[in-house]
Amino acid sequence: MPDMPDQFVAPLEVLASVTQTLVDDWEDLGGPDSGVGVDYWYRQRSTGKEAYLNLDQDHLTISVGDQRVYDAEIPTEAELTS
């Protein structure tokens, strides 16, 4: 099935985009659940930095280490590539 123009991208793709890394640079940690939305935990393979992502109704927050690097609605495929 072809991608729909307004299809949202995966949170890991946004993490890779905002940190200027590749999706394969991150490994899934499966960390604790905040109880709000869906939580994702990753570790950057080369640096060991941990990233926390929370997706709550189309709003995505990403923190790497102790720094928030993204806090907005999750972009569509077209927005991420533009």
In terms of DSSP H, where are the helices of the chain? Answer: 11-18, 77-81
Residue 82 has pLDDT above 90, yes or no: no
- With a CB cutoff of 8 Å and minimum separation 6, the contacts of 33 are 39
Query: Dihedral through CA 40, CA 44, CA 49, CA 52, nearest 10?
Result: -10
Tens of pLDDT, residue by residue over 57-78, are 888 999 999 999 999 887 777 7
pTM of the complete model: 0.75
Instruction: Tell me how far apart the alpha carbons of residues 3 and 77 are, in angstroms, rounded to a whole number.
Output: 8
**Residues 42 and 15: beta-carbon distance below 8 Å:** yes
**Residues 25 and 45: beta-carbon distance below 8 Å:** yes
Determine the average pLDDT of the residues in 17-43. Answer: 89
How confident is the model at residue 33, as a pLDDT? 75
How confident is the model at residue 2, as a pLDDT? 47
Q: Which two tokens stand for residue 69?
A: 């690097």
Tens of pLDDT, residue by residue over 1-25, are 344 445 667 889 999 999 999 999 9
